[in-house]
Amino acid sequence: MPTTSRLRQALDALYYSGAYKALTPIACGVGTIFMLHRVHPGATGTKSDAFDPNGFLAVTPEFLDAAIRRVKGAGVELVDLDEAARRLKTGAGGRFACFTLDDGYRDNAEHALAVFEAHGCPFTVYVTSGFASRDTAPWWILLERLIASEDTISLELDGRSCDFSCRTIEEKYAAYAKISDQFSNAPGPVFSDALAKLSNSYNLNSQALSEELIMGWDELAELAGHDLASLGAHTVSHPVLAKHDLRSCRAEMEEGAQTMANRLGVRPRHIAYPYGHDWAAGRREFDLARQLGFVTGVTTRKGVIFAEHADHLTALPRVSLNGDYQLDRYVDVLLSGSPFALLNRFRRVDAA
């Protein structure tokens, strides 16, 4: 059974049994930081009959609107990350929720902004400076488009050549999974070299892709002037930070923030670690974020926020609003914290 189906069954079991309600008092914590990427009409999640490996990254404006309504209906206050940090430090204030969006996709302004405005909901967009400057692009979408257009692909990684058949949808998904896994696990310089060779071999245009999908600096400056919006850092080139040496890791975090300060006039106070899993960012990155002056750092480790996170503000978990789970009842279950309590065996903080 596909993973998505199993997870839906688990969420449905928590919802229809009422177990999520029973667990809410001990599992919901003091707040939730929701994570999104893209927001646009027609985002139906991963398609079963087409090659669509990144479909889960997008939700519709209607679902975002419904999710905010569910949060407000639960009596949870919508706040920005500065206020969330203040509440954690002081212990003051009620249960809160923050909305964050990664990478700087243009649809965040074209489609999500109107939804946030309708609810007076603060939000943070984490900006990858290299995307905004058109120096690089989301490689996962470059790879998706390459595989979609080719019957075979040859990849050179760390001196080894690999050939992938991409004739059927099943083969395309298999190739995407293998290549993305290899990219994620390769040391930073090895990954960069492999992506550059792949781009050269197949004439991939990263600048054109960023111009198509990602906000440029003028657009970001306009968004930053909105009362509800704040912009956070998301490094220069969206690397797996844990695969880089200390100097390179620090440079990615510092230079991304400094470029934003230079281009937008304000240094970001918050950072999101690319990929954000435990294999992508850990204690070293959390310490670096604190040393560099960031107020908060968010991961993609699954969980809600507890009072104990006051001592780990640069290692905060998030709750993904995934395009494959665009149902109101799933928002209720996620907001309860119950899936994460079970997943994490009731451990509240994971900051290692």
pLDDT by 10-residue block (mean), the chain, 352 residues? 79 98 98 98 90 97 98 98 98 97 98 98 98 97 97 93 96 96 91 94 96 98 98 97 96 98 98 97 98 98 98 98 96 98 95 90
**Strand stretches in the chain, DSSP E:** 31-36, 38-39, 58-59, 77-78, 96-103, 123-127, 152-157, 160-165, 229-233, 270-272, 296-302, 316-320
Kindly compute the dihedral angle of the four CA atoms of residues 72, 74, 79, 85, in this order, to the nearest 10 degrees.
-170
Task: Please state whether beta strands 31-36 and 316-320 pair in parallel, antiparallel, or not at all (unpaired).
Answer: parallel
Query: Which residues are CB-contacts of 334 (< 8 A; sequence separation ≥ 6)?
Result: 11, 32, 319, 321
Q: Which residues pair with 97 in a beta bridge?
A: 32, 78
Q: Which two tokens stand for residue 332?
A: 């209720």
- Placement of tokens 């040496």 in the chain: 245
Q: What is the pTM of this model?
A: 0.97
Sign of torsion, CA 39 43 47 49? negative
Q: What's the rounded Cα separation, in Å, for the pair 286 and 315?
A: 6
Q: What is the CA radius of gyration of the chain?
A: 20
Residue 98 is predicted with a pLDDT of 98
Phi then psi for residue 207, to 5 deg, are -65, -45
Phi then psi for residue 107, to 5 deg, are -65, -15
* Under 8 Å between Cβ of 234 and 126: yes
What's the maximum distance between 2 C-alpha atoms anywhere in the chain? 58
Q: What's the rounded Cα separation, in Å, for the pair 352 and 336?
A: 24
Domains of the chain, with CATH numbers?
Answer: 3-130+228-343 (3.20.20.370), 139-206 (no CATH)
Residue 4 is predicted with a pLDDT of 80
Q: Is 305 left (phi over 0), alpha (psi -120 to 50) or beta?
A: beta
